[in-house]
Every structure is written in structure tokens, then in C-alpha cells.
Amino acid sequence: MGDKKSVNFHNLTIEIDDSPKAVHYSIVGEIDENFRQKEVPRISRENIHLHLKDVGNFNSCGIREWIQLIGDLSKLGSLSFHECSVSAIDQINMVPSSLGSGVVESFYAPYYCQCGQEHTKLIVVNEHEKALRKLTAPSFTCSCGRILEFDALEESYFQFLVALPRAG
């Protein structure tokens, strides 16, 4: 059980769950001109986890603030990004410094099926490292039984993984 607090902006809530080994920042909403990074407490822990499942769009004011916050957190512990939304991945690919010294552990990716369904799939980097290194989308099956088609440009969408440190 951690110590919980939250910081609210107009279109954004940052929930902080602090425990002795790791601090979790869950970021929900839009990174826009209402986001003031100075109001977000910096907590130094061995592991700093950012949860970006519900991050929406970034605008140019928001991204400037974001880069400052991430830069500060990068100095305070081992920074990792979890369940990054499609918007977050688009932003990271456009502005790689959005990651600071952090690594992406898992992220969402867009897929569609010939049956008309769209799916957003969670990809855990460790589980699909081989495919991802070749800039190939991991394969998933639709509820109708067909293989899903990846709904973005693989070379662009997986760009942020190119700098991935090689295991072994």
C-alpha cells in the first residue's frame, strides 16, 4: 500500500502512488497549455513508473512542460513507461526526448480486421522483442478468427524501439 496523492489540471489528472521501492505516476488526460509541470512533485525512488494508458493528445505547450518533467524524473531513478497510449507513442516517435532516459516496457498499438472491428492491442516489449526489432507488428487474432492487420506504418510506429538495448 502506497501513499497516494493527485495533481489536477483542467484536462489532466496525475495520480501518484508512492511506495518505498517504486513510485507510480498515472497520467490521465490531455497534455496541453493547462499542464504546469512545476506543480508535479518529483519523488526520488529506485524505480519510477509512468503509466500512460489514458494519455490523450499533446500540444506544443504541453510537450515543453512534459520534457521538463521527464528530464527531472530521469535524474531521480530508473524511469520506465507502461501501457503507453497510441497518442503517447506518436508523440514519443515525433519527439524522442519525450522519453528522457526512460524505456518503454509496454504500449498499445492499433489493429483492424477485415470483419470491420478495430482493436487496440497491448504489446509487452519483452514478449515480442524479436518481431519488434525487425519493425514487424506482433500477430494477433480477431474474435472472428482472422489475423488482425496492423493499422499504422510499422517503420514509423516502432521507431522508438530502434534504440532498444540488446539483451545479451
Would you tell me which residues interact with Zn ion (CB under 5 A)? Answer: 113, 115, 117, 142, 144, 146
What is the nearest approach in angstroms of Zn ion to the Cβ of residue 122? Answer: 18
What is the nearest approach in angstroms of Zn ion to the Cβ of residue 138? Answer: 17
What is the nearest approach in angstroms of Zn ion to the Cβ of residue 139? Answer: 14
Taking the least distance from each CB to Zn ion, the nearer of 104 and 148 is 148
Taking the least distance from each CB to Zn ion, the nearer of 94 and 144 is 144
Taking the least distance from each CB to Zn ion, the nearer of 122 and 144 is 144
What is the nearest approach in angstroms of Zn ion to the Cβ of residue 110? Answer: 14
Give me the DSSP letters along the chain: --EEEEEEETTEEEEEEE-SSEEEEEEEEEESTT--GGGSPP---SEEEEEEEEEEEE-HHHHHHHHHHHHHHHTTSEEEEESB-HHHHHHHHH-GGGGTT-EE-EEEEEEE-TTS-EEEEEEEGGGGHHHHHTT-PPP-B-TTSSBPEE-S-HHHHTGGGTTPPPP-
Taking the least distance from each CB to Zn ion, the nearer of 6 and 117 is 117
